[in-house]
Amino acid sequence: MRALQGREQVHIAVADVAAEDAARGLLTAQGGDPDIGIDFPHIPTDDAWLRDTGPVFCIRDDAAGRERAAVCFRFDAWGGKYPPWDRDAAVSHGIAEYAGVRRFEADFVLEGGSVDGNGRGTVLTTESCLLHPNRGAGRSRESMEARLHDWLGATHVLWLGEGIAGDDTDGHVDDIARFVDAGTVAVAVAHSPSDPNFEVLRVNLERLRRLNDQDGRRLAVVELPMPPTHRVNGEICPASYANFYLANGVALVPTFGAETDARALATMREVVGDREVVGVACGDLVQGLGAVHCLSQQEPASQPA
């Protein structure tokens, strides 16, 4: 929050007044000011991962002006894994109402972490998640591409294969490959054959190198190292530097107290333009099987910058 303050308005969803008071106290104790650029909508949740429970915001700019809208997809706790999820299923509605924007209700399951767009019509995703039958029977590439076109304006869909070890989402793309600008993708790569992600990420990297954007231009591919395998009580956690969040003037990048942190931060500084790169310690956070991108969902400004 300290890195975001003064750069963009931040909304922190809390259950009630008591939770808001607790959040304000935590921010103050860590040197932040909860009264500067932060508000606390009362939207109760079952889990923390707003990227997947919240809406995806869209913009239309035309002669009539600029309109923002929230696309609310169905949520089923990543294929019914973590009941109950009734509060999480209502989060996108609460956010749309709080934001005061028009709401569109999709009739199928889609999590925000399962797609990544370049803002020009190209969307990255994975077969292992978007085609998984636990999100809805009978899914195919063609049917999901049609849905992404109709609901998110995607004109070009790029398919990767599987996700990383320890990822309970069935392979969200936000731990694998992310756009850093309209034509550049940062992709996670494991350099040791003993890494449990080595082969999966090698295959995804080879796919990316053959792919083009919506205008037929070959993508620029930048390799992000994977951190050493992160385990808690023997279980692999999905630690990845690709789970970064791009904000106004700053990029928040997960760190894990590993020697690869410095290399990942340096790589990000090379590709995010004039944004400041801030490392956020996620060694504890990733025990919940996500990091800073999973916790967040960007909202476009009501007026162009």
Quick: pLDDT tens for 107-163.
999 999 999 999 999 999 999 999 999 999 999 999 999 999 999 999 999 999 999
**Per-residue pLDDT at 66 exceeds 90:** no
pLDDT-derived band at 273 (thresholds 50, 70, 90) equals confident
pLDDT-derived band at 226 (thresholds 50, 70, 90) equals very high
Taken in order of first residue, the domains within the chain and their CATH numbers are 43-295 (3.75.10.10)
Virtual torsion, Cα 57, 62, 67, 73, nearest 10 deg: -30
The overall pTM is greater than 0.85: yes
Across 280-293, average pLDDT: 96
Across 217-232, average pLDDT: 96
Q: What is the average pLDDT value for the chain, to the nearest integer?
A: 96
pLDDT attached to residue 90: 98
- In angstroms, the first-to-last Cα distance of the chain is 22
Query: Which are the catalytic amino acids?
Result: 294
**Tokens at residue 141, please?**
């590439």
Q: Which residue has the higher pLDDT, 302 or 16?
A: 16
Q: How far apart (Å, rounded) are the C-alpha atoms in residues 253 and 241?
A: 6
- Mapping DSSP to helix (H, G, I), strand (E, B) and coil, where does residue 221 land? strand
In one-letter notation, the amino acid at residue 155 is T
How far does Cα 243 stand from its chain's mean position? 7
Q: How far apart (Å, rounded) are the C-alpha atoms in residues 129 and 171?
A: 5
Backbone angles phi, psi at 105, to 5 degrees: -100, 110
**54 CB neighbour count, 10 Å cutoff:** 28
Helices assigned H by DSSP within 113-258 = 127-130, 141-152, 198-209
pLDDT attached to residue 305: 62
Q: In terms of Cα–Cα distance, which of 198, 193, 197, 106 is closest to 152?
A: 106
Q: In terms of Cα–Cα distance, which of 98, 80, 1 is closest to 44?
A: 98
Across 94-98, average pLDDT: 97
Across 243-261, average pLDDT: 97
Q: How far apart (Å, rounded) are the C-alpha atoms in residues 187 and 287?
A: 22
How far does Cα 212 stand from its chain's mean position? 22
**Per-residue pLDDT at 304 exceeds 80:** no
pLDDT attached to residue 129: 98
% of the chain at pLDDT higher than 90: 92
pLDDT attached to residue 293: 98
157-160 LR contacts (CB < 8 Å, sep 24+)? 157/122, 157/123, 157/125, 158/122, 158/123, 158/124, 158/125, 158/208, 158/211, 159/125, 159/126, 159/127, 159/207, 160/124, 160/125, 160/126, 160/127, 160/204, 160/207, 160/208
